[in-house]
Chain A
Amino acid sequence: GEQVEQRPPHLSVREGDSAVIICTYTDPNSYYFFWYKQEPGAGLQLLMKVFSSTEINEGQGFTVLLNKKDKQLSLNLTAAHPGDSAVYFCAVSLTSGGNYKPTFGKGTSLVVHP
């Protein structure tokens, strides 16, 4: 089945620095990609959903890149601030015709120091 590797497990940056989290998946039929953010004491919240057809997706203060050739998904926070401190999870899902269960990475704990 699908396997997802997420790195790094821990990331510490200064306010204003960039932060990059990478997920590598194995199934070339993967079609839906998700980034979730989990703040302390709260549930996972969707940051962005990415379709296989789009390689670059921009959100508020971050960019998600999808490299289908290398089967890699990345989350790039361009100028991190302390409010970005959280645990980030990627998730990968196949099309509805196949395995419709999202597979998650282990998470990255990001700390942004003022």
Chain B
Amino acid sequence: DTTVKQNPRYKLARVGKPVNLICSQTMNHDTMYWYQKKPNQAPKLLLFYYDKILNREADTFEKFQSSRPNNSFCSLYIGSAGLEYSAMYLCASSRDRGQAEQFFGPGTRLTVL
């Protein structure tokens, strides 16, 4: 099974409320990524886990949290959603960092009202 699953597919959140998005893969990939995708923009890397080590991008360091309780699951957590968080959130996994193909989930569309 080479699919990456994301839940939920659509999420509606209120400003100031927390949001938790879930991603899973069963390919035993050591790296899992979270991207934010807005219309007419490139997917923006938010953070990635290489095994148990979390790497967060400098410009989104304080806005997003993540956890990876085991190799298969990875979450993306927003403590207090703002209107600017409305976007598609893409999860991906790869066998290695950078050099290997990334397998993407279908995305979670988050709308913050």
**Interfacial chain A residues near B40, Cβ < 8 Å:** 9, 106
A96, B42: Cβ atoms closer than 8 Å = no
B45 partner residues in chain A, CB cutoff 8 A? 101-102
Shortest Cβ gap from B18 to chain A (Å): 25
Determine the distance from Cα of A99 to Cα of B90 in the docked complex, in whole angstroms: 20
Is A41 interfacial (CB-CB < 8 Å)? Answer: yes
Given A42-B106, A43-B104, A44-B104, check contact A105 B98 (CB 8 Å): no
Contacts of A102 in B (CB 8 A): 45, 98, 102
B98 x A32 contact (CB < 8 A): yes
Say yes or no: A96 contacts B98, CB within 8 Å: yes
Q: Render A92-114 as a binary contact track against B, CB cut-off 8 A, 1 for contact.
A: 01111001111111110000000
Is B49 close to A, CB under 8 A?
no
Q: Which of A43, A93, A96 contacts B106 (CB 8 A)?
A: A43
Question: Size band of the A side of the interface?
Answer: 20 to 34
B99 and A44 contact, CB distance less than 8 A = no
Is A45 in contact with chain B by the CB < 8 A criterion? yes
A100 x B41 contact (CB < 8 A) = no
Given the known interface contacts A96-B98, A96-B99, A101-B98, the answer about A106 and B41 at a Cβ–Cβ threshold of 8 Å is yes
Residues of B with Cβ closer than 8 Å to A?
Answer: 4, 35, 40-43, 45, 48, 90, 92, 96-99, 101-107
* Listed A/B pairs (6) with beta-carbon separation below 8 Å: A43-B90, A46-B103, A49-B101, A89-B42, A93-B98, A104-B35
Lowest 5 A-B CB distances belong to which pairs? A100-B98, A43-B104, A100-B97, A44-B104, A93-B98
